[in-house]
Chain A
Amino acid sequence: MRAEAKLGLALLLTPLLMWLSLLIFIPHVDVFLVSLRERVGVGQYQISFANYLTFFQEPLYLWTFLRTAVMSSLATLMTLIIAFPVSYYIAKMIKGRAQSALFLLCLVPFWVSELVRTFGWMILLRETGVISNVLQYLGLVDGPVEMLYNDGAIMIGLVYTSMLFMVVPLVTTLESLPDEVIEAGYDLGGNGVSVLREIIIPHAMPGIVSGCIVVFMLSLGNYLTPTMLGGKESLWFTELIYSQFIVRFNWELGAAFGFMLLILSSAIVWGMLKLTGQSLEKTMG
């Protein structure tokens, strides 16, 4: 029996270890090694931090990096603020069939690809688009308005595209809060604001954290939305990685960029977990 258990363990460990080592661990170490390479001649490389120096010394790169981080945080915050009341409504204000129907309705847009959703926003926002025409029809503006190709359009796209990943964890945690606890809060003299602050938000914290982590990650690593909705000036960091790898064929610098993105996202995820005393197992699993 003992030997059999050992064999079973070994058989089950093999796929897991192969997956994690060959597709996750070793490739990331390899990217790091490539990012430390500096080309000194044809086919000749030496180890140095030259690529990272380029990153820190070239204002465009650093600026785009910071911009991406700030805008992703902003998008995360906006998604949370928009999603919270809706999630609360679904979890607490309605029951039974209406509840599951509304919850399902929230998921529908995410069964189609991000490309289709972004395309929808392009049709709505562009100069000849729906919103511009409606505004003209209502007489609010004189000529066509271009609402595409700016940072605002990127924000709308990011918030829209990651909405699901905020709503689902929020609804799940809010649903587990018994009505009686909220009622008790009111009975003890609390009002709407204090009940929200003292009872509802603390209870929803795991959901808020996991929603924010996923939305931030998705915004930071998004390529499609900034490329399609943003203008020439609104560069996103992933676009730099793409152009170094595919257009310029400068893998060394691209790898350094990729590694910086990985460090930033890991740092923020880690920081958020530490700040709120959550663990990755609890928020993701």
Chain B
Amino acid sequence: MIPSIPQPRFLTAAYTAYVTLFFVFLALPLVVVAVFAFNDSQFPSLPWEGFTWNWFFGSERPMIGVFHERGILGAIGTSVLVAVVVSAMSVFVGMTNAFLFNRYKFRGQSVLYVFMLLPLVIPGIVLGISILVFSSRVANGLWDGFEIDVEALRPGLWLVILGQFSFITTIATLVIGARLQKFDRTLEEAALNLGAGKLTAIRTVTLPYLAPAMIGAFVVAFLMSFENFNTTLMLVGSDAPLTIAMFDRLKEGSTPLLNAVSLLLMIGSSCLALVMIAFQRKS
């Protein structure tokens, strides 16, 4: 089936209807989450009790809004902190990896490339437990051998950062590598001919060219880290990032407070994505 080849009207109509239905299916859960953030009730379910802003701005029990809820605000802060550190680390390593695979030929390169892809096909929870087990072994070893207690190796934010970094780096490498692949090497040679040193040429020619991919990789890494659940679940300590904090609350029973947080998340990530799209269109 293709537009240039005529098909029965009925078939095209059915096809369009199917695609429409698909988009309703995609939108439905998000729409209900957003709508029930404004329900003036203790539960995010019908009946509809009227419109309220209290789940955002309310400051008194039983309706404490997002902006007055310390636990949630703290968790958002934790998530942002983790996401920024993870993105910065994975963009840096993604960058060095992209140059390594693009600019050098060495023995074992293709094997190493496959290894680099592996974190994508390891279940997140297995990644989490393996880092948990290994870091505990190192921490116990350090304690038994030298009586040094390394807090960073116990479940907590550092382990969450390492766990997320371990697979997000692959994504960053792929994003940056794809753009480096398209780079015209003669531009760099021109800079060298004009008397630039090798590092100067990379800094003034190659890096600006890669900037959109680096920003793209940063945003994708940020979103993936912010959303990550499986790996984080196994490594989290007392400071829970937002997804874990919301999960704990959801297990106890939900109030429209969670809808309000979710709506803010949707708005936040849509803005981030729009910024990224605008940026990439400009370049």
Chains A and B come from one and the same complex = yes
Interface residues of A (CB under 8 A from B): 4-5, 8-9, 11-13, 15-16, 19-20, 23-28, 30-31, 34, 82, 85-86, 88-89, 92-93, 102, 104-109, 111-117, 119-124, 126, 128-130, 133, 160, 163, 179, 182-183, 186, 192, 213-214, 217, 220-224, 228, 238, 241-242, 245-246, 251, 254-255, 258-259, 261-262, 265-266, 269, 280-281, 284-285
| 5 pairs of residues in contact across A and B, judged by CB atoms under 8 Å | A9-B104, A222-B230, A223-B229, A238-B230, A269-B121
Contact of B233 among A25, A129, A242 (CB under 8 A): A242
- Judging by beta carbons under 8 Å apart, are A258 and B104 in contact? no
Residues in B243-283 with C-beta less than 8 Å from chain A: 243, 246-247, 250, 254, 258-259, 262, 265-266, 269-270, 272-273, 277
Chain B residues within 8 Å of A284, by CB: 117, 120-121, 174
- Which of B53-61, B62-70, B125-133, B208-216 has 4 or more CB atoms under 8 Å from chain A? B125-133
Q: Mark B1-38, 1 if CB is under 8 A from A, else 0.
A: 11111010000000100110011011111101100100
Residue of A nearest to B261 (CB): A116
A251 to B140, CA, bound (A): 15
Residue of B nearest to A30 (CB): B134
Interface residues of B (CB under 8 A from A): 1-5, 7, 15, 18-19, 22-23, 25-30, 32-33, 36, 43-46, 92-93, 96-97, 99-100, 103-104, 106, 110, 112-127, 129-135, 137, 162, 165-166, 169, 174, 177, 198, 223, 226-227, 229-230, 233-234, 243, 246-247, 250, 254, 258-259, 262, 265-266, 269-270, 272-273, 277
Chain A residues within 8 Å of B133, by CB: 27, 30-31, 34, 251, 255
- Judging by beta carbons under 8 Å apart, are B121 and A265 in contact? yes
- Judging by beta carbons under 8 Å apart, are B132 and A245 in contact? yes
Contact of B32 among A111, A120, A223, A238 (CB under 8 A): A120
- Judging by beta carbons under 8 Å apart, are B119 and A24 in contact? yes
- Judging by beta carbons under 8 Å apart, are A13 and B29 in contact? no
Contact of B266 among A92, A116, A186, A261 (CB under 8 A): A116
Listed from nearest, the 7 A-B pairs whose CB atoms lie closest are A120-B29, A221-B123, A27-B130, A27-B134, A111-B269, A113-B227, A23-B166
CB distance from B114 to the nearest CB of A (A): 6
Which of A15, A92, A116 is the most central at the interface, judged by chain B CB atoms within 10 Å of its CB?
A116
Starting from the known contacts A111-B270, A128-B46, 12 additional A-B residue pairs (CB-CB under 8 Å) come to A13-B100, A27-B134, A31-B130, A86-B22, A113-B226, A115-B247, A116-B30, A120-B32, A122-B254, A242-B233, A258-B125, A269-B121
Question: Contacts A112-B266, A242-B233 hold; do A281 and B250 have CB atoms under 8 A apart?
Answer: no
Residue of B nearest to A113 (CB): B227
A222 to B33, CA, bound (A): 21
Residue of B nearest to A161 (CB): B29
Chain A residues within 8 Å of B5, by CB: 182-183, 186
- Judging by beta carbons under 8 Å apart, are B115 and A114 in contact? no
- Judging by beta carbons under 8 Å apart, are B117 and A92 in contact? no
Chain B residues within 8 Å of A105, by CB: 23, 26
- Judging by beta carbons under 8 Å apart, are B1 and A192 in contact? yes
CB distance from B204 to the nearest CB of A (A): 18
- Judging by beta carbons under 8 Å apart, are A16 and B116 in contact? yes
Chain B residues within 8 Å of A15, by CB: 92-93, 96-97
Chain A residues within 8 Å of B2, by CB: 92-93, 179, 182-183
CB distance from A200 to the nearest CB of B (A): 9
Contact of A24 among B104, B118, B226 (CB under 8 A): B118
A109 to B43, CA, bound (A): 23
- Judging by beta carbons under 8 Å apart, are B45 and A129 in contact? yes
- Judging by beta carbons under 8 Å apart, are A262 and B122 in contact? yes
A89 to B29, CA, bound (A): 23
A109 to B259, CA, bound (A): 15
Contact of B112 among A16, A102, A115, A246 (CB under 8 A): A16
Residue of B nearest to A82 (CB): B22
Question: Contacts A119-B250, A258-B126, A284-B120 hold; do A111 and B223 have CB atoms under 8 A apart?
Answer: yes
- Judging by beta carbons under 8 Å apart, are A119 and B129 in contact? no
Residue of B nearest to A129 (CB): B45
Chain A residues within 8 Å of B30, by CB: 108-109, 112, 116-117, 120
A265 to B125, CA, bound (A): 12
A281 to B229, CA, bound (A): 26
Which of A102, A104, A120, A224 is the most central at the interface, judged by chain B CB atoms within 10 Å of its CB?
A120
A223 to B229, CA, bound (A): 8
Residue of B nearest to A136 (CB): B46
CB distance from A144 to the nearest CB of B (A): 10
Which of B116, B132, B133, B137 is the most central at the interface, judged by chain A CB atoms within 10 Å of its CB?
B133
Question: Contacts A23-B166, A124-B29, A129-B46 hold; do A16 and B3 have CB atoms under 8 A apart?
Answer: no
- Judging by beta carbons under 8 Å apart, are A106 and B123 in contact? no
A265 to B198, CA, bound (A): 44
A77 to B213, CA, bound (A): 33
Question: Contacts A82-B22, A123-B36, A163-B26 hold; do A128 and B45 have CB atoms under 8 A apart?
Answer: yes
- Judging by beta carbons under 8 Å apart, are B26 and A106 in contact? yes
- Judging by beta carbons under 8 Å apart, are B233 and A223 in contact? yes
